[in-house]
């Protein structure tokens, strides 16, 4: 985000009443990727955030996710750092790395590196670029029209929000936070 937009204070991303901040604007992608790859529940989080302009929202946040003690993930979300949208998944069986444009909805090709075990060489995988936002909107429209289940379920989206809420609370409190199970009857009727 440009310094002009940050200084102006008129950007909706800086409105705390509307859920503004780097975590809710771009941190959702890192949380989503970690949960997608690990396919486990996040039980506990810890986060630190910077707020520099008096907006009451985080401009830069780093967070750690604990997947019930069996795996860990780190995320970073920022309005004030250079553009970097990358991710790496590192496990005992190897590494998957997206070194650039991991979440950018432009037509750039996505370059993914897959390294198996302790190998020094990584197999490059190229995925043709597309406008990811356009695909999301088209998918939503198709699901409304045909009634089929979306790729990302309502339950998964609510679980992602529970993790984001816990990260925001951790940043405010300065301590680790247990991720709460969503309350109430939030299951969508078919």
**Of all residues in the chain, what percent carry a pLDDT higher than 90?**
48
Ordered by where they begin, the domains of the chain are 3-175 (3.30.360.10)
Instruction: Say yes or no to pLDDT of 73 above 60.
Output: yes
pTM of the model: 0.85
Confidence of residue 12 (pLDDT cuts 50, 70, 90): confident
Q: What is the pLDDT of residues 116-131, one digit of tens each?
A: 988 888 888 888 888 8
Extended beta strands in 27-182, E state: 44-50, 60-66, 72-78, 87-91, 94-98, 110-116, 123-127, 177-178
Contacts of 149 by beta carbon, 8 Å cutoff, 6+ apart: 143
What the block records as the tokens of 182 is: 């969503």
CB-based burial, 130-139: b 16+ in 10 Å, e otherwise: eeeeeeeeee
């Amino acid at each position: 985000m440009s310094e002009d937009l940050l200084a102006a204070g008129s950007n909706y991303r800086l409105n705390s009443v509307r859920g503004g901040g780097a975590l809710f604007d771009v941190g959702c992608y890192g949380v989503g990727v970690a949960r997608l790859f690990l396919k486990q529940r996040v039980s506990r989080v810890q986060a630190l955030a910077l707020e520099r302009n008096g907006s009451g929202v985080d401009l830069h946040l780093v967070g750690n996710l604990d997947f019930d003690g069996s795996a860990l993930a780190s995320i970073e979300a920022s309005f004030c750092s250079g553009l970097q949208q990358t991710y790496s998944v590192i496990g005992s069986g190897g590494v998957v790395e997206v070194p650039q444009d991991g979440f950018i909805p432009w037509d750039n090709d996505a370059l993914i590196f897959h390294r198996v075990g302790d190998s020094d060489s990584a197999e490059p995988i190229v995925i043709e670029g597309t406008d990811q936002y356009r695909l999301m909107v088209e998918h939503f429209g198709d699901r409304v029209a045909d009634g089929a289940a979306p790729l990302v379920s309502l339950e998964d989206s609510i679980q992602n929000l529970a993790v984001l809420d816990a990260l925001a609370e951790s940043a405010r409190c300065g301590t680790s936070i247990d991720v709460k199970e969503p309350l109430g009857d939030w299951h969508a009727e078919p």
